[in-house]
Amino acid sequence: MKDYIVRLNQEKIELDEKMYKLSKFTLSPLFDDIDEEQKGLLCIQVDIMRAYSAVLEQRLILIEEREKDASNNS
Query: How confident is the model over 14-58, as pLDDT tens digits?
Result: 999 999 999 999 999 999 999 999 999 999 999 999 999 999 999
**Residue 61, domain extent:** 3-72
Contacts of 71 (CB under 8 A, 6+ apart): none
- pLDDT beyond 80 at 74: no
Question: What average pLDDT does this structure show over 61-69?
Answer: 92
Is the pLDDT score of 63 beyond 80?
yes
Domain count, the chain: 1
Residue 1 confidence (pLDDT) above 80: no
CA atoms lying within 13 Å on the CB side of residue 70: 6
Q: Are 42 and 22 in contact (CB under 8 A)?
A: yes
Contact 7, 63 (CB under 8 A): no
